[in-house]
Chains A and B, each alone.
Chain A
Amino acid sequence: MALETRIYQKQRTLKIGTLLKASLQDMYQSRFLARQLAKRDITAQYRQSYLGIVWALITPIATAFVWIFLNSSGTIKLSDTGIPYPVYAFSGTLIWSVVVASINSPIQNTNAAKGILSKINFPKEALIVSGIYKLLFDSSIKVLLLVLFVFFYGVGFHWSLLLFPVAILGAILFGTTLGLFVTPMGLLYKDIGKIITFGMQFLMYVTPVVYAIPKSGMMQSIMTWNPITPIVLTARDLAVGLSPEYLTYFLVVLAVCVPLLFIGLVIYRISIPIIVERLSA
């Protein structure tokens, strides 16, 4: 039987194709590891908590409540959203929380595995995939919650609701791609993680999460161009049965994300040994 041969040396030539192929192969071969890691983290999380999933939902729900209150009490005046405002706000914050969680996922998962990264050689791609599994788990509960809201506020069932999970998958794809790109730097410097947390708070206000895009002005153009806008809007439109206005932009964003995700995976693969060296030196 031929033995698998590995060669370790200073990387001199770079073939994206070879690296990507290796990356995807490792991803396939480590599917059990990825599932096991996700299962481990999810079980451990729930075993030591009574409220469990509530913690994943609390931020979007609280944010939505604040805005619903501000709106209903007349403290602020928001333009008409076309659907009951509570549904608008809830759907916005829930979708937003999926995007934020997806951006944070690669960096968080890699960071949490620092201990074994510097000790054991295993396919690092499994960390990314296990992150996606965990996102899928959390998101599916969020989706259920949103469906509950949609019916509770009398929006009713539309066939497009069945496509809503697809839009959420788009949100996860977008977030993970973005997260992958910042992970190498984020592992070296703690600042990156802080900047993301901080920046996302502001970014929410230039995305139609709790209010619609204004009809004119600078804010309108910022919000229109913001690549997260089509994700939030398309997902929401599908959930409540409106015709998705930003569908084209949404598809463009996803189409751009796919090659970027592959490039991100290659960069991740190259950078892990460099990072492990700096972490364990």
Chain B
Amino acid sequence: MFDTQHIAASEEVLVKVEGLGKKFCKDLKTGLWYGVKDLVSGVRGSTQGSELRSKEFWAVKDVSFELRRGECLGLIGHNGAGKSTLLKILNGLINPDEGKVTIKGRVGALIELGAGFNPILSGRENIYNNGAVLGFSRHEIDEKLNAIIEFAELEEFIDMPVQHYSSGMKVRLGFAVAAQMEPDVLIIDEVLAVGDLGFILKCFKAIDTVLPNTAVIFVSHSMPMISRICNQIILLSKGKTEFQGENVSKGIDLYYNSFLTNEDSDVVFTDNSLELISATLENAKSDNGIYKINWGDTINLKCTIKNVNLNKTPFLSFAIYDKEQRSIAEIIPLKQITKEIEHNTEIEFLIEIKNINLSKGVYNITFSASETLSKNIFYKVHKAITFQVNHDLQIWNPYLIDSELKYVN
């Protein structure tokens, strides 16, 4: 544009969002009535203030960013934070109440896969329907038909009515059509969450190939995916930007931290023979109940239990869960001895956990006590301890294995 044409294509701002705001109404009837008023004022072209009317709230407020070719912006936030509303504005489905969006080039949206499908018609016919909705011409679809069918891996079922497809097959067909778009700006919303692993990998491969030539806006609740493909991040909270920048891992940390308010431990099983009184990390600092440790640290875990009616010491084991509640590791301490104990006394255990190689992130430890390993469980509590591992690197796998180069030959 203007005098900047000589600058490399990657410097060209494709998406420019300035002070974007959108209000929604909490009440349906009132909302419809405002709709009528908006219709009238829209048709008359009158200027209307952007103050809130009664029962309205800002679904998106004061959001600004710029995105160039080759950049990928991750949009994260809780449900209802305004991510999808923002995407709808960017996609031109609804008009903003405040601010301005300037988008250059062909916009592709992976918001709904398989739009325009009719269940009665065959997969082949629906490729044309979906393709037409996405803006392809007949000629383009004719040309790409084979590539689409091949990508969707549906050669065998392509002439079967789509209503008999499994949901995964429909998504595959939808993505296969959408993957033929050659957009300058690509908007992706959660659609990749469905489908089997092989297909998700294929989708990522397709996205990776377009990434260098495209400005991508990616909405997801899957932080590993965000950290894998994004180089900018916006954390939305109640419609407002809470964090924005190129430090993707910081944004992800903030997102995770926003869930930490309800980190109360959670007894999931007890036969009332013992009770966990406290669990602490001896050699780590705690901040708001979260222990901060560094990658590779060795930690000392101290548990105090109250014995109600056990005669011998229980066998302790632990499990580590990540922020998405995936079980990622077991801790089964060695050298556990069985000792006679008295009823209604408190007993302390100290366990050394060596070289924590977990990658950067927040983790929970589940405490369980049983008679022996995997037999006759007495007591189990989730989130007995929450800790955060610090490291410079943000990776999306749970482990960062300690390694170093020994020689180059």
Proximity bits, A109-139, B CB within 8 Å = 1, else 0: 0000001111111100000000000000000
Output the least CB separation between B92 and chain A (Å): 5
Proximity bits, B103-114, A CB within 8 Å = 1, else 0: 111110101100
Q: Which residues of A line the B interface, CB within 8 A?
A: 3-14, 32-33, 36-37, 40-41, 43-44, 47-48, 115-122, 184-185, 188-189, 267, 270-271, 273-278, 280-281
Q: How far is the CA of A270 from the CA of B104 in the complex (A)?
A: 22
Identify which of A10, A33, A275 contacts B98 (C-beta below 8 A): A10
B197 interfacial contact with A, CB 8 Å: no
Interfacial chain A residues near B98, Cβ < 8 Å:
10
Interfacial chain B residues near A13, Cβ < 8 Å:
45
Contact status B107-A121, CB under 8 Å = yes
Contact status B39-A10, CB under 8 Å = no
Q: Which residues of B line the A interface, CB within 8 A?
A: 14, 24-25, 31-32, 34-36, 38-39, 42-45, 47-48, 50, 88-107, 109, 111-112, 115-116, 118, 120-121, 125, 128-129, 132-135, 137-138, 184
Contact status A44-B32, CB under 8 Å = no
Interfacial chain B residues near A271, Cβ < 8 Å:
39, 42-43
Instruction: Return the chain A residue nearest B14 by Cβ.
Output: A3
Q: Given contacts A119-B111, A278-B35, A281-B31, are A9 and B121 in contact (CB under 8 A)?
A: no
Contact status A11-B36, CB under 8 Å = no
Q: How far is the CA of A277 from the CA of B34 in the complex (A)?
A: 11
Q: Given contacts A6-B92, A44-B120, are A120 and B109 in contact (CB under 8 A)?
A: yes
Q: How far is the CA of A208 from the CA of B91 in the complex (A)?
A: 49
Contact status B89-A8, CB under 8 Å = yes
Output the least CB separation between B216 and chain A (Å): 16
Q: Given contacts A6-B92, A118-B88, are A43 and B39 in contact (CB under 8 A)?
A: no
Given A119-B112, A281-B31, 19 other A-B residues pairs in contact with their CB atoms under 8 A: A3-B105, A5-B104, A6-B104, A6-B107, A9-B95, A9-B96, A9-B99, A10-B96, A37-B132, A116-B133, A118-B88, A118-B93, A119-B111, A121-B91, A121-B92, A189-B32, A271-B42, A274-B35, A275-B39
Output the least CB separation between B189 and chain A (Å): 9
Output the least CB separation between A183 and chain B (Å): 11
Instruction: Return the chain B residue nearest A267 by Cβ.
Output: B43
Contact status A4-B104, CB under 8 Å = yes
Interfacial chain B residues near A281, Cβ < 8 Å:
24-25, 31
Q: Given contacts A43-B125, A44-B121, A267-B43, are A9 and B100 in contact (CB under 8 A)?
A: yes
Instruction: Return the chain A residue nearest B42 by Cβ.
Output: A270
